[in-house]
């Protein structure tokens, strides 16, 4: 079959201090068939969220690749830049016509100025081009906010199931299988979505969330007519009406059963809400643990400064507390400060100088810190592995500031991998503690070696304390901002 | 004559937070003969520092050597210094013999563990050349003259104006002397009298103006070949930091010595009248607001990138916000990060932006403002003399009624183009804040109702008693109070 594929992904944080433009995509991932910009991306190994493309190719399908555009989470995309990429996507689809199917990856919580539902907007336009008979399949990030426009426009939507997102390739394979069946006429997929009025970050690495995820997989395998069963976690930092979690079931001729299972899983998700919310602690508590800890490395996730949620990645709250408490034999990565990197690289390895580091983007960044730094390492070719693909750290330096090693870099990116330390010559497992700027994606690579993992909820722009955020569009009531029981969508939630 | 020429300029501030390496030169200008990097640079270089072209115009066979200049900053690292020095030495030894060597240097250049780059360089050049080649140096009056410079060059000629508007004429003057020296028509005898003074002395005001004019008149005397009043650069922590007068006479050592001593002692007596008094941010603003009409120009002298400061301090701006002063233009705050964020947002966008205060504990606190993006440019320039100085990526923002130019190339404010290129009409502003100590003056004085020199905290601090020196020669005014005896003279 002939499949049109594209990639347009951005997790949009309405409260992020960092604007998002075409340049933001250029700096991360941008291939524009219309201009040829970024054509080299096609020659590289695709990231896991695009695994469906090589999977399609390996099954001898013809794949027409449209625009590939993704960037680190930040504020909603500038209107004209969003429209530019969207219109190029639609144009390249028209040029590819006729096609037998469309398979596309989007984030599901993408906003642009003037657009509260980019995925719905794009899918609606794709449907207008391909007509009603061509199946449209969509893979999403589980931090998606599902809308009626998405459900009406696409045939199959499958979010990943794991947080950290380690299963993009697996779900991509599932999606390809369903679309193949639909094109052949063997399958007639229908979607059922049951919203759940909760906000939060729900790690699938712990019970009972891991149990509920296992249940979705069991249902897919054992229940006749259920093609895909997914928990959509929602993305609470997108200030739009449809923000929230839900259960999405793709079924084949079993809509009644799908409806019942979606509701039942939704009720189960709501019931375990207190147990699955991220186990956050204060900075002070985390540092107490570090100071008392005997052996092994404590991993502290600086969740509120997670660039993967739209934060700047330059906040100094944890670092300042460590300095004030004279905690040594610890390291922190990645502090985003291209100006400090430039200074350190000019000074060179071995030199010692007074520097001002971090705290440079806005109030959520905390105060910049004036430190005496020794330059331990300088690299311009270091990388880490993100969802199985190499992603560069940009210019990066390791600074020693009185027994604390700080990795500072020039590309705003969260920590996925211990290479964020080892590439700069720091062995994290010889230290008392490492601080990683990430909410959860660090987990897969760090957990096997960590003595324990602590999730810190300090000040920052990716707060999990949703009650503090100045929402304007969010539909209330919603947990945890509003206390249960409450009534939403004609249902009582308690 | 076959003349070797090279340009190597770095004013070194031992207390700057900005390190210096080869990339620091690449950001300003760098031509390396050994690799060909920056070839063609000579053609685009301003006339005042393009010695090779000047010499060629006079009919000489000019050999273009290294051209390297960096913004003032910390002493450069050893590898970079060794590399640049070798560019000159290897080039000379590969192309010997030369009739003359003419260099354009700063005079206050330091490297890690080398306090006197110019002296070291000239000594090694002299070793290659022997005694019969004429060596001349044109340099910045903010140089610190060393014995190594004096004993290894035949002619040392500094510019005499601050702002430095006379580099070209002084270098032509140097070339005159080189030609006469090579022809054995003159026999230079030089005396340098050191002067124990630290400070900045604009030549645009009295009595400094008259003093400099008098030196020019004395140069016309038949025995006198050249006189340089060197102001010195007090932010170099080196034994030679400080002022001096260099007098070169034609085969008249006594006259050179007598003139140098007389002029030095006389210069010392006008010291209080040629420096600006310290002025806090609030005092400067009070004075500016007392002037009716505008624009009044306040120079943020202590955050002058041209003296090794980051150019991102917020002391003045913080007070302007706190006092609610409107209709103000500020150029420029060095903040490439804020420029990246603001230019990504684009013209017309409003956002919360943290500006300034990014590089040093002397940069002040960064300021969180609600900013409207008015202009985004990546091709804006200011023209200093004939040389183009890019602002890099630059944005104009409006915050609290103040229009602020943020730039991504660390550079002082030379001309009103820093405003006009970004869409600000400086004539309509009540108050203009410029980050510069004196080079702004030539252009801004034409439109300024008044010029005020402010000294808020900053890297180029004017209160020398607060600087943690380790190597300077004491006593020195104003840290030490005269009378005192030093440099074989009694100073009172």
Q: Following DSSP, what letter does each residue of A382-445 receive, concatenated?
A: EEEEETTEEEEEEEEEEEEETTEEEEEESS-----STHHHHTTT--GGGSSEEEES-SSTTHHH
Higher-confidence residue of B49 and B391: namely B391
Mean pLDDT of B363-390: 90
Given the structure tokens 């014995």, which residue do they identify? Answer: B147
> How far apart, in Å, are the Cα atoms of A287 and each of A176, A301, A361, A433, A438?
47, 12, 25, 9, 17
pTM tops 0.90, yes or no: no
Could you say which residues from 333 to 352 on chain A have a Cβ atom under 8 Å away from some Cβ of chain B?
Answer: 338-339, 343, 345-348, 351
**What pLDDT sits at residue B470?**
96
B457 at A interface, C-beta within 8 A: no
Mean pLDDT of B392-417: 96
Using DSSP's 3-state secondary structure scheme, residue B138 falls into: strand
Q: What's the CA gap between A477 and A468, in Å, rounded?
A: 15
Q: Work out the minimum CA distance from B82 to partner chain A, whole angstroms.
A: 15
B354 at A interface, C-beta within 8 A: yes
A468 at B interface, C-beta within 8 A: no
**What pLDDT sits at residue B386?**
64
How many CB pairs below 8 Å do chains A and B form together? Answer: 84
**What pLDDT sits at residue A27?**
84
Residues of A in contact with B24 (CB under 8 A): 346
Q: Work out the minimum CA distance from A363 to partner chain B, whole angstroms.
A: 7
**What pLDDT sits at residue A464?**
79
**What pLDDT sits at residue A361?**
96
- Single out the residue of A425, A456, A423, A452 nearest to residue A438, CA to CA: A456
Within 8 A by CB and 6+ apart from A454, the residues are A281, A285, A286, A289, A298, A299, A300, A301
In chain B, the residue whose alpha carbon lies closest to the alpha carbon of A338 is B337
Q: Test A359 with B336 for CB contact under 8 angstroms.
A: no
Q: Test A346 with B346 for CB contact under 8 angstroms.
A: no
Q: What's the CA gap between B399 and B355, in Å, rounded?
A: 10
Interface test with A, best of B338, B341, B378 (most A CBs within 10 A): B341
- A404 alpha-carbon distance from chain centroid: 29
> How far apart, in Å, are the Cα atoms of B233 and each of A55, A367, B306, B391?
68, 33, 12, 26
Q: Test B366 with A353 for CB contact under 8 angstroms.
A: no
- Single out the residue of B337, B433, B438 nearest to residue B392, CA to CA: B337
Q: Test A346 with B344 for CB contact under 8 angstroms.
A: no
**From the list A20, A348, A363, which residue is nearest B21 (CB)?**
A348
From the candidate CATH numbers 3.30.70.3270, 3.40.50.2300, 3.40.50.300, 1.10.3470.10, the one assigned to the domain spanning A2-276: 3.40.50.2300
Q: Test B24 with A346 for CB contact under 8 angstroms.
A: yes
Q: Work out the minimum CA distance from B381 to partner chain A, whole angstroms.
A: 22
Overall residue count recorded for chain B in this entry: 492
Q: What's the CA gap between A4 and B34, in Å, rounded?
A: 53
**What pLDDT sits at residue B385?**
67
List pLDDT tens digits, range A97-143.
Answer: 999 999 999 999 999 999 999 999 999 999 999 999 999 999 999 99
B344 at A interface, C-beta within 8 A: yes
A375 at B interface, C-beta within 8 A: no
B61-69 and B29-31 beta bridge pairing: antiparallel
A353 at B interface, C-beta within 8 A: yes
**DSSP of B371-412, one letter per residue?**
EEEEEEESS-EEEETTEEEE--SEEEEEETTEEEEEESS---
Q: Which two tokens stand for residue A87?
A: 């219109």
B345 at A interface, C-beta within 8 A: yes
Residues of B in contact with A360 (CB under 8 A): 337, 354, 358, 366
Confirm if A362 and A390 have CB atoms less than 8 A apart: no
**From the list B349, B353, B359, which residue is nearest A356 (CB)?**
B359
Higher-confidence residue of B333 and A388: namely B333
Residues of B in contact with A347 (CB under 8 A): 19, 21, 74, 77
Q: Work out the minimum CA distance from B22 to partner chain A, whole angstroms.
A: 8
B372 at A interface, C-beta within 8 A: no
**From the list B352, B359, B361, which residue is nearest A339 (CB)?**
B359
Q: What's the CA gap between B490 and A476, in Å, rounded?
A: 84
Q: Test B352 with A363 for CB contact under 8 angstroms.
A: yes
Confirm if A331 and A431 have CB atoms less than 8 A apart: yes
Residues of B in contact with A368 (CB under 8 A): 357-358, 366
Q: Work out the minimum CA distance from B397 to partner chain A, whole angstroms.
A: 15
**What pLDDT sits at residue B48?**
62
> How far apart, in Å, are the Cα atoms of B62 and each of A118, B71, B100, B125, B170?
65, 27, 10, 17, 18
B423 at A interface, C-beta within 8 A: no
**What pLDDT sits at residue B47?**
63
Mean of the per-residue pLDDT values for chain B?
95
**What pLDDT sits at residue B59?**
97
Mean pLDDT by 10 residues, chain A (494 residues): 98 91 90 96 92 97 98 93 98 98 98 97 98 98 98 98 95 98 97 97 94 98 96 96 97 95 97 92 96 93 92 96 97 97 95 96 95 97 87 96 97 95 98 96 94 92 84 95 92 91
Domain boundary assignment for chain A: 2-276, 281-463
Confirm if A198 and A244 have CB atoms less than 8 A apart: yes
CA angle B233, B235, B240 (to 5 degrees): 55
**A293-297, B41-45, B425-429: least confidently modelled range:** B41-45
A78 at B interface, C-beta within 8 A: yes
């Amino acid at each position: 079959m002939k499949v049109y594929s594209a990639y347009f992904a951005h997790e949009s944080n309405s409260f992020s201090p960092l604007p998002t433009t075409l340049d933001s995509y250029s700096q991360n991932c941008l291939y524009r068939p219309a201009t040829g910009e970024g054509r080299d991306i096609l020659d590289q190994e695709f990231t896991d969220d695009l695994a469906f493309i090589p999977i399609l190719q390996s099954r001898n399908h013809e794949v027409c690749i449209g625009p590939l555009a993704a960037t680190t989470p930040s504020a909603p995309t500038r209107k004209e830049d969003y429209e530019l990429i969207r219109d190029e996507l639609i144009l390249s689809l028209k040029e590819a016509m006729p096609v037998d199917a469309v398979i596309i990856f989007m984030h599901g919580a993408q906003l642009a100025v003037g657009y509260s539902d980019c995925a719905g907007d794009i899918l609606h336009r794709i449907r207008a081009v391909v007509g009603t008979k061509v199946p449209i399949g969509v893979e999403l990030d589980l931090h998606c906010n599902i809308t009626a426009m998405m459900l009406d426009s696409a045939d199959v939507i499958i979010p990943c199931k794991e947080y950290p997102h380690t299963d993009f390739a697996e779900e991509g394979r599932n999606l390809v299988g369903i679309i193949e069946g639909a094109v052949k006429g063997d399958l007639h997929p229908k979607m059922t979505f049951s919203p759940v009025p909760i906000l939060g970050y729900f790690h699938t690495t712990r019970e009972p969330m891991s149990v509920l995820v296992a249940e979705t997989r069991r249902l897919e395998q054992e229940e006749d007519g259920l093609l895909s069963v997914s928990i959509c976690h929602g993305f609470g930092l997108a200030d739009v009406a449809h923000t929230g979690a839900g259960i999405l079931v793709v079924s084949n001729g079993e809509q009644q059963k799908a409806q019942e299972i979606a509701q039942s899983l939704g009720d189960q998700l709501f019931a375990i809400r207190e147990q699955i919310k991220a186990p956050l602690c204060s900075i002070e508590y985390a540092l107490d643990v570090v100071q008392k800890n005997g052996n092994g490395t404590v991993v502290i996730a600086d969740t509120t400064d997670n660039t993967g949620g739209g934060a700047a990645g330059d906040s100094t709250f944890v670092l300042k507390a460590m300095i004030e408490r004279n905690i040594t034999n610890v390291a922190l990565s990645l502090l985003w400060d291209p100006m400090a990197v430039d200074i350190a690289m000019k000074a060179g390895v071995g030199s010692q100088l007074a520097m001002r580091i971090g705290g440079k983007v806005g109030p959520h960044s905390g105060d910049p810190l004036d430190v005496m730094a020794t330059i331990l390492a300088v690299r311009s070719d270091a990388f880490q592995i993100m969802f199985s693909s190499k992603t560069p750290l940009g210019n990066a330096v390791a600074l020693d500031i009185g027994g604390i090693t700080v990795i500072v870099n020039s590309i705003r990116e969260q920590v996925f991998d211990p290479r964020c330390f080892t590439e700069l010559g720091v062995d994290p497992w010889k230290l008392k503690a490492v601080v990683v700027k990430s909410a959860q994606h660090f987990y897969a690579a760090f957990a096997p070696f960590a003595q324990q993992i602590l999730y810190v909820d300090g000040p920052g722009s990716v707060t999990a304390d949703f009650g503090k955020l100045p929402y304007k569009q969010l539909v209330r009531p919603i947990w945890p901002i509003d206390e249960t029981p409450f009534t939403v969508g004609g249902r009582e939630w308690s | 004559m076959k003349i070797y020429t090279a340009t190597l300029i770095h004013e070194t501030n031992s207390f700057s937070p900005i390190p210096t390496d080869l990339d620091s030169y690449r950001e300003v200008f760098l031509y390396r003969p050994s690799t060909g990097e920056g070839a063609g640079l000579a053609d685009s270089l301003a006339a005042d520092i393009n010695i090779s072209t000047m010499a060629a115009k006079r009919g000489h066979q000019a050999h273009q050597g290294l051209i390297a200049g960096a913004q003032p900053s910390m002493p450069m690292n050893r590898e970079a210094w060794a590399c640049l020095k070798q560019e000159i030495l290897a080039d000379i030894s590969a192309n010997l013999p030369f009739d003359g060597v003419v260099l354009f240097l700063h005079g206050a250049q330091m490297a890690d563990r080398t306090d006197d780059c110019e002296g070291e360089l000239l000594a090694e050049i002299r070793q290659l050349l022997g005694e019969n080649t004429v060596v001349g140096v044109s340099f910045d009056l903010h140089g610190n003259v060393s014995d190594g410079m004096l004993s290894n060059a035949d002619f040392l000629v500094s510019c005499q104006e601050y702002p430095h508007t006379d580099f070209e004429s002084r270098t032509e003057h140097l070339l005159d002397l080189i030609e006469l020296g090579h022809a054995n028509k003159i026999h230079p005898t030089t005396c340098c009298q050191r002067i124990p003074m630290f400070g900045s002395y604009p030549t645009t005001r009295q009595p400094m103006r008259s003093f400099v004019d008098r030196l020019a008149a004395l140069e016309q005397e038949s025995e006198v070949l050249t006189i340089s009043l060197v102001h010195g650069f007090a932010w170099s922590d080196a034994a030679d930091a400080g002022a001096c007068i260099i007098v070169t006479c034609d085969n008249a050592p006594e006259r050179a010595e007598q003139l140098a001593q007389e002029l030095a002692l006389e210069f010392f007596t006008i010291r209080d009248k040629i420096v600006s008094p310290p002025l806090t941010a609030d005092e400067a603003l009070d004075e500016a607001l007392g002037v009716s009409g505008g624009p009044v120009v306040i120079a943020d002298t202590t955050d002058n990138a041209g003296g090794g400061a980051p150019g991102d301090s917020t002391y003045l701006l913080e007070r302007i916000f706190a006092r609610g002063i409107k209709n103000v233009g500020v150029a420029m705050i060095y903040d490439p990060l804020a420029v990246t964020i603001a230019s990504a947002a684009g013209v017309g966008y409003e956002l919360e932006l943290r500006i300034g205060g990014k590089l040093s504990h002397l940069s002040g606190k960064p300021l969180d403002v609600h900013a409207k993006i008015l202009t985004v440019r990546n091709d804006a320039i200011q023209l200093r003399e004939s040389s183009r100085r890019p602002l890099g990526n630059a944005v104009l923002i409006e915050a609290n009624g103040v229009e602020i130019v943020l730039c991504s190339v660390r550079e002082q404010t030379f001309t009103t183009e820093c405003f006009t290129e970004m869409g600000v009409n400086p004539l309509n502003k009540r108050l203009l804040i410029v980050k510069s100590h004196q080079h702004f003056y030539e252009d801004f004085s034409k439109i300024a109702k008044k010029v005020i020199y402010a000294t808020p905290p900053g890297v180029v601090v004017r209160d020398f008693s607060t600087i943690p020196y380790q190597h300077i020669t004491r006593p020195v005014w104003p840290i030490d109070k005269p009378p005192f005896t030093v440099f074989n003279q009694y100073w009172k």
